[in-house]
Amino acid sequence: MGTLHLMHDATAFAHILRISAAETWERLRRGEPLFVVDVRKPIAHARAHIAGDHLHPKREHAERLDELPRDRLLVLY
């Protein structure tokens, strides 16, 4: 899956941390309240995605920032 991006706040793009896929899976396994966002194209999401993720294609991301929660960690992939 590669590197995932973890954000503490949807507007805090200056504070992006990079975490591995393994760390993300571990956090999900522990039940951490992550908000997982798939920024790929819909066709890629339809083929395979993380259960419970939210599709926000990169080209739509800027217009949809207000849909992202501010009280959960965001993981973009």
Task: Using DSSP bridges, classify how beta strands 73-76 and 3-7 pair: parallel, antiparallel or unpaired.
Answer: antiparallel
What is the reported pTM? 0.73
CATH of 3-76, one of 1.10.357.10, 3.40.250.10, 3.40.50.720, 3.40.190.10: 3.40.250.10
pLDDT along the chain (77 residues), means of 10: 52 70 93 93 95 92 86 88
The label of the residue with tokens 């899976």 reads 25
Q: Determine the pLDDT at residue 16.
A: 74
